[in-house]
Structure 1
Amino acid sequence: MPPKRNNKRKAAVVNAAAKKDGSTSNSAELTVPDRATWPGWVEMESEPAFFNVMLTEMGVRGVKVQEVYDMDQTFLLTLPQPVHALIFLFRYKETECEKSESCPKEVWFANQTPDFACATFALLNIVNNIPGLHLGAELQKFRDFTKDMDPFSRGDAIDDFQFVKRIHNSFARDNDLLQADMHMKGKVAKFRKRQAIAKATATKAAKRAELEAEKASNSKAPLQEKSSNIVQQSRTSDRAKRPTSRKSPKESAADERPDDEYKANGTIKARALSEEQEPSNGLRRSGREPKPRKPDLVSAAPADDDEEEGFHFVAYMPINGNVWRLDGLDRFPQVVGPFSEESGGWMQVARPHLVGRMEQYAASEIQFNLMAIVHDPVVGEKAALVENIKTLQAFGEKLDAVSEDWRTMDIAETKKDVVLGSSLEYGITAEDLERSSENTGVKTKAEEGGDLLKLIDQRKEAVMQQAGLRAAVRDSLQATRDDEEKARHRRHDYGTFVRSWLGALADQGVLTPLIEG
């Protein structure tokens, strides 16, 4: 589940970071855990660059994450096609009810068992449902291992999948690790407290049951019945023993009251006296109002006013003619609705559903985000560039057969930036060229042509086409490098440097005038 955020915990984490390079803390909770052995997960920021780097390091090829700024149909058409899935980030609220009661075999779905791991669970629930996607060696083995598991077992398997967990936690700063670690320790403390309360409650209930059993056994003992004559005789003897004296008018009137009225009043008084003084089943009865019971410690635990629900990632994608909501906090995947390509595709079903949710949250807040898992255009762009290189190689072979000196001709001049083989700059290897299928149509044209000038003109046309292909691949690779640069800055610990630098300035007395001013 997305854990609740606690402002008090945040303050403790900030204080821990401030004390990391100078002072010591008395609390063991303020020790930054070791990333390599720490068993938890940290929150992921909704940044497409981080998701792209995660997919790359996991070994996934062929898809990328791109931000969606508008759910308008015009903007959605500008996304690289096809759009495989959507990732919706929102502040989690337990308001929705589940409808599906099972997980179909064609849907790979995992329950989110650990806290703070919803980003990775959303990614894995998506990539494991895209047909024909290159997952990489590690993820492919994991998918084969979990294909027959139920969603809960898959969630536990992901929690134990150190390969993915290390990539996920590599984006965490020390403060993130501290906060998540304190959250885990807090959950353990609350669990132990609940266990202690449950044990105390069970002990109290057992004692209460023993007392009730003892009272029940005592109540079954035979009671000695007293005759009403004994009570009447006692009253007569008491009257006989009273001294004779003059009575007031009120007393005389009381003596003249009918016996029935006297008996009634005497019965009421005796009953009141017995209720006030005589014990019943070993318990004292009183006419006072009972004190209010103390609330149950488990059910009436005070809520933390500083806590608020955390953010959560949910995936939406098409699978076998239906749009599915893959929320790791649901027990099973949920069907949003059926779709068909004739009616506009799966986005026509997902779009109104997401717009409705956004409008619902926008009434109170605007803290949500949407990202799309799209086909990585660099795959097709590199394939087109490889085909162009193969075409130029075919023209070169044919021209070599016609004339060995064709390269010295002015009209056959080749610029230095033209790629004629493998290229490190564009990420094209010799294996890529060997695996590529040859463009049969262009090569046949080159084989049929015997005119040197005609072949040179055809080759020149292919060279001009390569300029646009190189630009497209260059832009895509630059976007990948930008993502890697953002991830590098995120992973670098600038806090240590800043704290050390401020400490050195303080030692030199540079900060004193600034603080006093």
Structure 2
Amino acid sequence: MTQMPIGGWKELESDPGLFTLLVEDFGVKGVQVDEIYDLQETIKGNVYGFIFLFKWNEVGRSRRKVQATVDEPFCKDEEIVNKMFFAHQLVPNSCATHALLSVLLNCDEVELGSLISRLKHDTYNFNPEMKGFAIGNIPELAYSHSKYARPETNPLLDTQNKPNGLTSSARTIEAFHFTSYFPFQGRLFELDGLKPFPIDHGPLPTHGAWHDMARRVVTSRITAATGGEQCHDIRYNLMAVVPCQVQHYRTKLNQLKHDYSAVKQIMNNILEKSETNCEEIFKFEPKYESHIDDKQPPLLQNNGFQHNKEDKDFVEILKSKKLLEHFDDDVINVIETCGTEDLETKCSLILCAMKRGVDQCEASLNEEDERRHRYKVDHARRTHDYVPFISLFLAMLEERGHLSNILEPIIQPRKRTIVQPKQKRRPEKRRYRRK
């Protein structure tokens, strides 16, 4: 049974690799976290929600001081508040997990896994305070959360110098806080565990994606806080919770290989009565294709195909069989504009273009795998405690008499030549004789 980590919940940095590994530790599948570098750039693809980091201030410090934040558009409808997953943050340093769970548990498209699914089921229709208690009392969440924190040389130092429930900068005493943005029942909501209610930013746009509206809300917030100055303020950070690209490219690669094999089989059926030797074209290539069962699916049947060397218009047939829809536009353009001198040449050009599509997808998959590897390396470097090594290294230098020789030139004050300023000669006073 997992126990609560020593020292409780610890601070987490705003790092997309850290949050991606944390999602995997929670048991959630098919999700990753990416950093948004440019708020003006349109985001392509599906977005489940945003996690926003900002510098915390004294305004609205407590959930009990509702009068301090009366200007915020709170959603006080108890039915809506209890139906969505909104939890008060009752445990210090847990705002990162709160923000992440707020996105995951309010999205129906995500495969949550056993741990998070159990949390969602057990806290259904709870009020925000009870949901906050539930999060703080799940050892698995606390262990996974604190697993990705930097080692603390003095755990009591930060808790004495920062407000309750917040995370702080590693180099300063400034306090930072995580919140989340996501669509719910046709409206854009912001969840902040230190606020009494969810913040309703209004209905989603009828034209355009919801995350375009969320980016405008975040941009307005940063602009208001910075006085409209155009600057890249490191006190703010925005991350997007999106579908896992590793899983996406693996699925796409398998589909492309299957389609490539199907297209080769269709071409072979068309050219089987040709006198041309096509063994070089139709030999099996394990890098680009998968085995097709002897029982051909309806997709590969010969209905409608003429085994005639003069039949050159089968690109539309491949499209109608949905064998090209997984390839990128540049590959399809090459296929549509390839030469029509003879059927064999056209088959060869189409297969070469499809091979390039498989190569591109495989390169993208390798790039994503390499990024995941870097995430794990960064995690190992971030969480490793270097203090014992440094202490032992300095002790060994002292034991062998090298430490004083190293420190002496640094500690010993440098002798400076003091240059006396030249004294200005006072002008002689004129003496006047008395007559």
Structure 1: tracts of 5 or more residues without a match:
1-33, 188-306, 422-432
Correspondence for 2:402 = 510
Name the CA distance, whole Å, in 1 between partners of 2:259 and 2:107.
Answer: 32
Residue 224 (structure 2) aligned to one of 360, 379, 382: 360
TM-superposed deviation, 1:409 = 3.0
Q: Which residue of 1 aligns with 2:192?
A: 327
Give the CA deviation at 1:109: 1.1
State the alpha-carbon separation in 1 of the partners of residues 243 and 237 from structure 2: 20
Partner of 2:244: 376
- Helix, strand or coil for the counterpart of 2:152? helix
Q: 1:82 aligns with which of 46, 50, 58?
A: 46
1:345 to 190, 193, 209: 209
Please list, as runs of the form range in 1=range in 2, the aligned pairs for 1:69-148 lying within 5 A after superposition.
69-72=37-40, 75=41, 77=42, 79-93=43-57, 94-95=59-60, 96-97=69-70, 99-103=74-78, 104=80, 105-148=82-125
The answer to whether residue 395 in structure 2 is matched with residue 420 in structure 1 is no
Q: Within 5 Å, give how 1:424-435 maps onto structure 2.
A: none
User: Do structure 1's residue 157 and structure 2's residue 134 form an aligned pair?
Assistant: yes
Name the CA distance, whole Å, in 2 between partners of 1:500 and 1:110.
45
- Which consecutive unaligned segments of at least 5 residues does structure 2 have? 61-68, 165-171, 310-342, 410-435
Fraction of identical pairs, as percent: 25
The residue aligned with 2:201 is: 336
1: CA distance between counterparts of 2:119 and 2:225? 36
Deviates more, 1:63-72 or 1:122-131: 63-72
Structural mapping, 1:66-465, within 5 Å: 66-72=34-40, 75=41, 77=42, 79-93=43-57, 94-95=59-60, 96-97=69-70, 99-103=74-78, 104=80, 105-175=82-152, 178-179=155-156, 183=160, 310-342=175-207, 344-363=208-227, 367-394=235-262, 409-413=279-283, 417-418=287-288, 420=290, 441=299, 443-444=300-301, 448=305, 457=348, 462-465=354-357
Contact 2:268 2:282 in 1 (8 A): no
Higher relative contact order (CA 8 A, sep 6+): 1
Equivalent residue letter for 2:33: V
Indicate the structure (1 or 2) with the bigger Cα radius of gyration: 1
Q: Residue type of the partner of 1:418?
A: Y
- Give the distance between the partners of 1:106 and 1:510, measured in 2 at CA: 66
CA contact under 8 A between 1:340 and 1:346: conserved in structure 2? yes
1:329 shift after superposition: 0.7
Measured after TM superposition, the shift of residue 392 of structure 1 is 4.3
User: How much does 1:157 deviate?
Assistant: 0.7
Deviation at 1:480, TM superposition (A): 1.8
Note the alpha carbon deviations across 1:278-297, whole angstroms, 9 max, x for none: xxxxxxxxxxxxxxxxxxxx
For each residue in 1:355-410, what CA deviation from the matched residue of structure 2 results, as whole angstroms up to 9, or x when unmatched? 2221233249752212122233333322221212323454677799979xx99933
Letter in 2 for 1:473: L
Given that residues 387 and 439 in structure 1 are in contact (C-alpha distance below 8 angstroms), is that contact kept between their aligned partners in structure 2? no
The alpha-carbon deviation at position 67 of structure 1 amounts to 1.3
The answer (yes or no) to whether the contact 1:109–1:333 under 8 Å persists in 2 is: yes
CA distance in 2: counterparts of 1:333 and 1:439, whole angstroms: 51
Deviates more, 1:107-116 or 1:373-382: 373-382
Structure-2 change in CA distance of 1:414 and 1:106 (3 Å): same
Superposed displacement of residue 49, structure 1: 0.8
Q: Once the 2 structures are TM-superposed, how far is the Cα of residue 473 of structure 1 from its aligned partner?
A: 1.7
User: 1:509, 1:340 → 2: CA distance?
Assistant: 71
User: Could you state the TM-score of these two structures normalised by the residue count of structure 1?
Assistant: 0.58
RMSD between superposed Cα atoms in Å: 3.7
Distance 2:220 2:136 in 1: 33
Contact 2:3 2:140 in 1 (8 A): no
Post-superposition CA distance 1:313-353 (Å, at most 9, x none): 011111111110110111221101112231x3323432332
Distance 2:362 2:48 in 1: 26
CA 1:181 to 1:351, structure 2 compared with 1: closer, same or farther past 3 Å?
A: closer
2:336 matches 1:466: no
Distance (whole Å) between structure 2 residues aligned to residue 119 and residue 395 of structure 1: 48
- The count of residues paired between Structure 1 and Structure 2 equals 342
Work out whether residues 385 and 470 of structure 1, in 8 Å CA contact, stay in contact via their aligned partners in 2.
Answer: yes
C-alpha contact (below 8 Å) 1:43/1:176 kept by paired residues: no
| Structure with the largest fraction of helix | 1
1:53 matched to 2:17: no
The 3 A distance-change label for structure 1 pair 462 and 149 is same
How much does 1:451 deviate? Answer: 7.4
